[in-house]
Amino acid sequence: MAPQDLIAPPQPAPDVPVAPRVHIPFDNSYARLPERFYARLDPTRVASPRLIRVNRDLATLLGIDPDALETPEGVEILAGNRVAQGSEPIAQAYAGHQFGGFSPQLGDGRAILLGEVVGRDGQRRDIQLKGSGPTPFSRRGDGRAALGPVLREYLISEAMHALGLPTTRALAAVTTGETVLRDRPLPGAVFTRVAASHIRVGTFQYFAARRDMDAVRTLLDHAIARHDPAAATAENPARAFLDGVVARQAELIARWLLIGFIHGVMNTDNTTVSGETIDFGPCAFMDAYSPGTVFSSIDIQGRYAYANQPRIMQWNLARLAECLLPLLSEDADVGMASAQEALAGFVPRFQAAYLNGLRRKIGLTTEEEADTALVEDLLERMAENRADFTLTFRRLADAAADPAADPAVRTLFQDPAAYDGWVENWRSRLARDPAPPAARRAAMRATNPAFIPRNHRVEAALSAAVDRDDLAPFEELLAILARPYDDQPGREAFTHPPETVDPTYQTFCGT
């Protein structure tokens, strides 16, 4: 059986009209790849689409008139009821390791890539609908999305962007006027996601598992042109590409840890070669610092716990390297050595990015060998005393400038003496750092957010939208999270963890 035969032929959608007046400047390079890379099909129509919101700033960056997207015709496009001119809708093929077990065919089971645009900044990005109906990859799923997961992805992805992390983004969300069945009937919605690309480690795995090396080479050339153009002229383009992915992911995982983010489902199909965070299903942010924190309901063994994320990412990258082995060298031994050398670069890159980030979080602008022990000591004391991760570092900014602010940090520790046992060593180290106190405080506040998507706040916003059709809490939280490093008078309560911690709190995949 030929590789392309493994994809079931798409079923035509009933009379999806082309929208002629909403201009989206599509230029669809992925749809020009061989047909076995995807299935061509239109989104499935919905009953009664209603706009939740359009990300107007992002639309403008993409070269799309946000006013046009908010018209009835624009909403029809965002719901999948119309196809914009220039769009070539496809569902992408990919495989993936899910919790360590390999699935040779996954693919876009409830998503359709509408196409690509080159924005006003010169960057090429995908525009994808999620919840747009069944595809040949749906595996008996309904291809739809519920309102709660759509709003969660909107909130978290835009929060990650505001925090300064590489991430997919939210262009729009609409309700469908239909019900989807999960654990209970829920209102349906469609999410419009923007990404540097949707090329995943699992995309390479899809073709490598079929021993379709022509496709792997084609995909590599496409990914290099899109994400690592300098690698095209390198002595070994495959190795240069692999080095680039390793570097991007090492930086990304360090930045996840530095803001207390737990992805929750770090499968290889959720690992992009662009280095962007993707898929915000069972993700969450820590309140009290605990390296073993797991929120995902499906991560029963804690594979993707907070502290495990660096190790898991290196494991995922090893799966990418396996796909590229024949392209790294015609000599199998040489190719293996090259892959191992590239993968070995992950740990020092991650450790350097993580330690440098921790230095910034505690106000250091210079490096000393003992800095590692200093920050590890703080983290150990935080873990032993259930200190809030975000608030501890935010309040340290004030304490760095004035010891009179120490009490606000001490109160975050179950035993305040634990902070006292660390703070004098910290102040001794600050005394050897040249940054003036005011500048140090400003720099720390610029790297330690006051506002993160607190789980209880996210859940409250989603509950209001799903259960009461009240989007006001969602809009308020979205506005707050757009300015995570700023003081926002009157919104101080949004910086706080919940008064009562639910030890059974879990997050769920949206499928």
Domain assignment present for 204: no
Q: What digits encode the pLDDT tens for the residues 351-381?
A: 999 999 999 999 999 999 999 999 999 999 9
Cα dihedral 227→355→398→457 (10° resolution): 60
The answer to whether residues 282 and 224 belong to one domain is yes
Is it the case that residue 10 has pLDDT exceeding 50?
A: no
> Domain check: are 41 and 162 in the same one?
yes
Q: Mean pLDDT throughout 328-342?
A: 98
- pLDDT value at position 12? 44
Per the prediction, the chain carries an average pLDDT of: 94
User: Does residue 498 fall inside a structural domain?
Assistant: yes
Domain coverage including residue 94 = 3-198
pLDDT in tens, 186-213: 999 999 999 999 999 999 999 999 999 9
| Domain end among 302, 333, 354 | 354
DSSP-derived pairing of the beta strands 18-19 and 38-40: unpaired
Query: What span, in angstroms and rounded, lies between the C-alpha atoms of 232 and 235?
Result: 9
| Residues 257 and 168 reside in one and the same domain | no
**238 vs 222: CA distance, rounded Å:** 12
* E strand map for 257-397: 261-262, 284-285
Measure the CA–CA gap between 423 and 430, rounded to whole angstroms: 10
Confidence of residue 14 (pLDDT cuts 50, 70, 90): very low
* Domain assignment of residue 288, yes or no: yes
Q: CB-hemisphere CA count at 13 Å for 239?
A: 17
Average pLDDT value for residue range 101-126? 97
Q: Is the pLDDT of residue 472 over 70?
A: yes
In the chain, pLDDT over 70 holds for what percent of residues? Answer: 94
Instruction: Please report the pLDDT score of residue 18 as a whole number.
Output: 53
Residue 281 pLDDT class (50, 70, 90 cuts): confident
| Cα separation, 402 vs 408, whole angstroms | 12
Q: How far is Cα 432 from Cα 29, in angstroms, rounded to an integer?
A: 53
Tell me the mean pLDDT in the region 402-421. 98
Amino acid of residue 458: V
Last residue of a domain, one of 354, 376, 394: 354
Length of the chain (residues): 511
Maximal CA-CA distance, the chain: 73
Q: What pLDDT, in 10s, does the model give residues 36-55?
A: 999 999 999 999 999 999 99
Q: What angle do CA 251, 111, 266 make, to 5 degrees?
A: 30
429 and 317 in one domain? Answer: no
Distance CA 275, CA 471 (A): 32
As a whole number of angstroms, the distance between CA 434 and CA 256 comes to 28
Average of per-residue pLDDT across 426-430 = 98
Strand partners, 272: 200
**Residue 203 belongs to a domain:** no
Instruction: Compute how many other C-beta atoms are within 10 angstroms of the C-beta atom of residue 408.
Output: 15
Tell me which of 325, 354, 383 is where a domain ends: 354
As a dihedral over the C-alpha atoms of residue 20, residue 25, residue 30, residue 35, rounded to 10 degrees, the angle is 20
Do 138 and 185 share a structural domain? yes
Q: Are 312 and 301 in contact (CB under 8 A)?
A: no
**427 and 458 share one domain:** yes
Map 149-180 to HEC letters: HHHHHHHHHHHHHHHCCCECEEEEEEEEEEEE
298 and 191 inside one domain: no
Residue 269 appears among annotated catalytic residues = yes
On whether residue 158 sits in a domain, the answer given is yes
Cα 498 to its chain centre, rounded Å, is 24
Encode burial over 238-265: b for 16+ CB neighbours within 10 A, e otherwise: bbbbbbbbbbbbbbbbbbbbbbbbbbbb
Kindly state the average pLDDT of the residues 87-97.
98
pLDDT at 9 over 50: no
Is 52 found in the same domain as 158?
Answer: yes
- Average the pLDDT over 253-260 and give the result: 98
DSSP 341-377: HHHHTHHHHHHHHHHHHHHHHTT--S--TTHHHHHHH
**Of 269, 287, 299, 388, which one is the catalytic site residue?**
269
In this structure, which amino acid lies at residue 194?
Answer: V
Task: State the average pLDDT over residues 109-133.
Answer: 97
Say yes or no: 270 and 291 in one domain: yes
Domain co-membership, 250 together with 173:
no
Q: Which pLDDT band, with edges at 50, 70 and 90, does 508 fall under?
A: low
Answer whether 273's CB lies under 8 Å from 199's CB. Answer: yes
**What percent of the chain has a predicted confidence (pLDDT) above 90?**
90
367 and 240 share one domain: no
| Interior/surface letters 212-226, b for 16+ CB within 10 angstroms, e for the rest | beebbebbbbbbbeb
* 369 shares a domain with 282: no
In this prediction, residue 481 carries a pLDDT of 98
Question: Concatenated DSSP letters for 63-114?
Answer: T--HHHHTSHHHHHHHHTSSEETT---EEE---EEETTEEES----SSEEEE
Provide the pLDDT confidence category of residue 7 given band limits of 50, 70 and 90: very low
Count up the domains in the chain and report the number. Answer: 3
Which pLDDT belongs to residue 168?
98
Name the band, by pLDDT with cuts 50, 70 and 90, for residue 296.
Answer: confident
Residue 122 has pLDDT above 60, yes or no: yes
Establish if 238 belongs to a structural domain: yes
